[in-house]
Amino acid sequence: MTRVAIVTGGSRGIGRAAAERLAADGTAVVIVYAGNKAAADEAVEKIKADGGQAVATQADVGDEEAVAAAFALAAETFGGVDVVVNSAGIMPLGTVADMELEVFDKIMRTNARGTFVVSQQAARTVRNGGAIINVSSSVVGLRFPQYGAYAMSKGGVEALTLILARELRGRDITVNTVAPGPTATELFLDGKDQATIDTLAKQPPLERLGATDDIAEVISFLAGPARWINGQTIRANGGII
Query: For 75-121, what is each residue's pLDDT tens digit?
Result: 999 999 999 999 999 999 999 999 999 999 999 999 999 999 999 99
Range of the domain at 151: 4-181+212-234
Rg from Cα positions in the chain: 17
User: pTM for this structure?
Assistant: 0.96
Query: For 2-59, what is each residue's pLDDT tens digit?
Result: 999 999 999 999 999 999 999 999 999 999 999 999 999 999 999 999 999 999 999 9
* 150 carries an active-site annotation: yes
Q: How confident is the model at residue 188 (pLDDT cuts 50, 70, 90)?
A: confident
| CA distance linking residue 212 with residue 183, whole number of Å | 7
Q: Judge contact between 89 and 111, C-beta under 8 A.
A: yes
Task: With respect to residue 133, please indicate whether it lies within any of the assigned structural domains.
Answer: yes
The CATH number of the domain holding residue 55 is 3.40.50.720
Task: With respect to residue 201, please indicate whether it lies within any of the assigned structural domains.
Answer: no
Task: With respect to residue 74, please indicate whether it lies within any of the assigned structural domains.
Answer: yes
Q: How many domains does the chain have?
A: 1
| CA distance linking residue 67 with residue 71, whole number of Å | 6
**Residue burial 181-194, b: 16+ Cβ < 10 Å; e: rest:** bbbebeebeeeeee
Per the residue annotation, which of 33, 78, 147, 150 is the catalytic one? 150
Task: With respect to residue 190, please indicate whether it lies within any of the assigned structural domains.
Answer: no
Q: Is the pLDDT of residue 187 over 80?
A: no
